[in-house]
Structure 1
Amino acid sequence: MYLFISIFYRLILWAVSPILFIFILIHSLFSPIQFIPYLYKTGILIPKVLKTKPVIWIHGVSAGEVASIQGIATLLRDQYHLFITSSTISGWIIVQKLYPSDTLSFFPLDYPIIYKRLLKRIEPKAILFIEGEIWPNILKESIRQGIPCFLLSGRLSDKEFKGYFKLKAFFGEVFNCFKVLSMQSEEDCRKACDLGVEPSKVFMGGNLKFDLKIDSSISQRHISLWQKDSFILIAASTHRGEEAIILKTYENLQHSFPNLKLVIAPRHPERSDSIANIANKLGLNPMKWSKYRELDPPEPINDRKVLILDTMGELTCFYPIAHLVLLAGSFVKGIGGHNPVEPAYFAKPIITGPYTHNFNPMIGEMLSKSAIIQLENTGEPIGKALVSTIEKMILDPHLSTSLGDKAKDFISKHRGSSLRTFNEIKSYLSH
């Protein structure tokens, strides 16, 4: 069964390659920022890797994953040169910011002609995959070449697990390519074993994101945004469909709470214009952060109560001034929520929506500690519950403070995954 599916997978890749090539050309034409990433992903560009030390390749799909490797990267860097890849533009921005002394690139497409050339050029001693992006061909080729692969901070959502389990004969073999699977929770460990992974390979190392080293370099511009008696609400990592809900919620609240201000931080900043259009239709007169940064000197914008964060990598600089955080990606179906670690790190009270299937174990544990508020899916418009919950938090500062403190305490008690994981894999790296 594995051989049949593997051959079928490769045939599909080659069958879609002409379409993929056309897509890359068109996408690069309409979105020039994607042109250079595609040169790396297709193997046309391969960065030169310093080989004064053995090379360790670390891959995280996007911004959150590559940010989470700071701890383990520090532990590895004394003995190894790091080759760090991401799959997205947001991840690329973060790796450039956090790892300037390492060799950086984009993860290659899963075609033999591409990844064989890359493996030959960089000659990694090991490959560390973060969380769960699984590429069967490159995994198999790495094992064939004697390059051990590790899954760190592994996570299997219910949706992913169901999909993998339907093709257990194939994905069980793929996951067994890993020398060690360091999973985030006991539930993730169980799911890995249910897929057919040898239990001796699986252990609970925890979530690397708990060890995040977060940039909190708040500037005078952030402090000067609004007058000091403002109550600042941040909607973090919003997606299409959520901004309309949040902006309407804000419109309903601002009459009762005139000092309430809103910062909307879209997951994809290129959508900022469409968000501004929604706000303008509600008469909210938003301002973009990129425009505010041009003010010299910075001054309060008290007449502009909605700010759109239209830049990448700056959300953590806003958390220190926030009074309440709406953790988005959870107010509409199909996304699965986002990680609460960053706002919790700053001891901020967090409200999340009902759709958090990608983070159910963590959200569930935080709920048991009264460290987060999750709105229920009652069948009624979620905006109604959002209005009443925000109103409750504004009127009860003690509740807000307590919620934020418990979130901070939850994060603090789960730190240490980087060291645990490093200790588990270091013996394999020394061979």
Structure 2
Amino acid sequence: MQTPFLYRAWVAASTLLVPFVARRETAKLRRAGMSVQRAHEKLGHASAPRAPGAPLIWFHAASVGESLAVLALIARIGVALPRATFLITSGTATSARLLTRRLPPRTTHQFAPLDAPGPLKRFLRHWQPDGAVFVESELWPQMLRRTRESGARMALVNARLSQGSIAAWRKRPQLARYMLDVFDLILTQNDAMADAMVEIGAPPERVARGINLKSMAGPLPVDEDALFEARAALGHRPVWVASSTHPGEEKPVLKAHAELLKRWPNLCLILAPRHPERGDEVSTLINDAGLTQTRRSLGEQPGAQVYLADTLGELGTWYALTGMVFLGGSLREIGGHNPYEVAQSGAAVLSGTHVANFAETFAAMEIAGAAKLVAEGADLTRQLAQWLEEPTALQQTRRAATDFAESQTDRLDGIAERLIKALELAP
């Protein structure tokens, strides 16, 4: 297949720009507390050895959610291939910290190399992957082509492109075919995405519908010590959680809580913004709403009307305190967040209506009675009040959520088997 001009132009541009981009990216990691050695992984300098003689399967994901979504898949493949080792790469310090706590056996985390000749050559020369699995929409041109040229077989899982990305690829059909031809298997999240991938140039015989791997990530970790302390502080108070909230969502959440407090004055809201660095901003909103608060980042325990959980990686602990979770990113056009994490914790799922990223999942959960979609304001207050008034109704929704989450996990073995076969990794 002829190399498209746009690809050659990108290679040339990246070669010129890599010193400047490298300086920016390594500085960002250093500011986030990463060591110099770890920051230089962005330049392809490995900070860990490759196990000699063992097959290595490389998983690459961009975001925290994508990275966590493949951990259960790595674990399943690890059981089927006991000699195999695994490498997972991501781009941010946040993802590195969260992944390090949850890595499956024989798995190493590194920061993904920049999409430029030098970093990629060093990375591939050191790790020599036998197979490479890319997650969702992380399609860096040189990373894909150079990995293929290294001899590794490749797969794209959980494939999901935005409508904007699909439109952009349609305008560059030669480049799209050149990129997508590297994959031996493409598993999409749904049938519509499978059709879209074929339309923009993916070989039809290599495209199939898979599953949303975020349903397979496994329950969020719970800090038992923190859970014990929080339970002791709360006593018998009723609790609800609003998690992963974004700007513009805290005000209606706090308004709903203020209304609920009129009938349930001991009710506690645990408010966990999506980005903990917004803690001061959200704290001001709580004060402006006339509500009392304590803050996790200050080492305080829940004791006021609102507990501001402005720390990272503790959602599993807060979910364990309640049976009612409102999932943010859904009262504004953000696309929603992963409802499986809530369902796996045994809590009932509440969400706004803007859930494009998980539209099929929420539709199925609503049918199963495992989730409720609400508008902001009175609708959110009304649903929470119903559950507080009718514990039996809440328990039914919680059971439905748990059953729904458990029903998805049996499908993971099938995905693992398909990847092992496509990547020719059978023992």
Q: Same fold (TM over 0.5)?
A: yes
Matched with 1:429 is 424
Alignment deviations for residues 81-118 of structure 1 (CA, whole Å, 9 cap, x no partner): 11121222222112211127532211111111111110
Shift of 1:62: 2.7
Matched with 1:379 is none
Are 2:198 and 1:204 aligned? Answer: no
Whole-Å Cα distance in 2 between the matches of residues 320 and 279 of structure 1?
A: 23
Q: TM-score, normalised by structure 1?
A: 0.87
> SS in structure 2 opposite 1:321?
coil
Whole-Å Cα distance in 1 between the matches of residues 52 and 274 of structure 2?
A: 36
**Matched AA of 2:42:** K
Are 2:83 and 1:88 aligned? Answer: no
Cα distance, 1:26–1:67 mapped onto 2, change above 3 Å: closer
Q: How does 1:116-155 map to 2 (within 5 A)?
A: 116-155=121-160
Whole-Å Cα distance in 1 between the matches of residues 182 and 29 of structure 2?
A: 34
Q: How does 1:14-413 map to 2 (within 5 A)?
A: 14=15, 17=18, 20-21=21-22, 23-24=24-25, 27=28, 31-33=31-33, 36=36, 38-44=39-45, 46-77=47-78, 78-99=82-103, 101-214=106-219, 215-218=221-224, 219-228=227-236, 230-292=237-299, 301-302=302-303, 304-333=304-333, 335-375=334-374, 382-413=376-407
Shift of 1:57: 1.1
Alignment deviations for residues 226-261 of structure 1 (CA, whole Å, 9 cap, x no partner): 121x22111111222322332233223322321221
Cα distance, 1:231–1:321 mapped onto 2, change above 3 Å: same
Alignment deviations for residues 45-101 of structure 1 (CA, whole Å, 9 cap, x no partner): 543222241211112223322222233222333121111212222221122111275
Any conservation in 2 of the 1:57–1:128 contact (CA below 8 Å)?
yes
Whole-Å Cα distance in 2 between the matches of residues 252 and 160 of structure 1?
A: 42
Cα distance, 1:396–1:173 mapped onto 2, change above 3 Å: farther
**Matched AA of 2:372:** I
Whole-Å Cα distance in 1 between the matches of residues 13 and 373 of structure 2?
A: 41
Alignment deviations for residues 24-52 of structure 1 (CA, whole Å, 9 cap, x no partner): 476467x3436656422233554322224
CA RMSD of aligned residues (A): 2.6
Cα distance, 1:181–1:254 mapped onto 2, change above 3 Å: same
Any conservation in 2 of the 1:49–1:103 contact (CA below 8 Å)?
no
**Matched AA of 1:351:** L
Cα distance, 1:20–1:383 mapped onto 2, change above 3 Å: farther
Cα distance, 1:143–1:340 mapped onto 2, change above 3 Å: same
> SS in structure 2 opposite 1:429?
coil
Cα distance, 1:163–1:402 mapped onto 2, change above 3 Å: farther
Any conservation in 2 of the 1:290–1:310 contact (CA below 8 Å)?
yes
Any conservation in 2 of the 1:231–1:323 contact (CA below 8 Å)?
no
Shift of 1:286: 1.8
Shift of 1:344: 0.9
Shift of 1:177: 1.4
Whole-Å Cα distance in 2 between the matches of residues 187 and 317 of structure 1?
A: 36
**Matched AA of 1:284:** L
Whole-Å Cα distance in 2 between the matches of residues 324 and 212 of structure 1?
A: 21
Whole-Å Cα distance in 1 between the matches of residues 360 and 119 of structure 2?
A: 37
Deviates more, 1:260-269 or 1:213-222: 213-222
Whole-Å Cα distance in 1 between the matches of residues 233 and 177 of structure 2?
A: 52
Question: Which sections of structure 2, spanning at least 5 residues, go unmatched?
Answer: none
Deviates more, 1:364-373 or 1:134-143: 364-373
Whole-Å Cα distance in 1 between the matches of residues 173 and 229 of structure 2?
A: 53
Deviates more, 1:164-173 or 1:269-278: 164-173
**Matched AA of 1:330:** S
Whole-Å Cα distance in 2 between the matches of residues 166 and 417 of structure 1?
A: 36
Q: TM-score, normalised by structure 2?
A: 0.88
**Matched AA of 1:245:** P
Cα distance, 1:32–1:206 mapped onto 2, change above 3 Å: closer
> SS in structure 2 opposite 1:33?
coil
Alignment deviations for residues 142-181 of structure 1 (CA, whole Å, 9 cap, x no partner): 1122211111232334454344334344224312211111
Percent identity of the aligned residues? 25
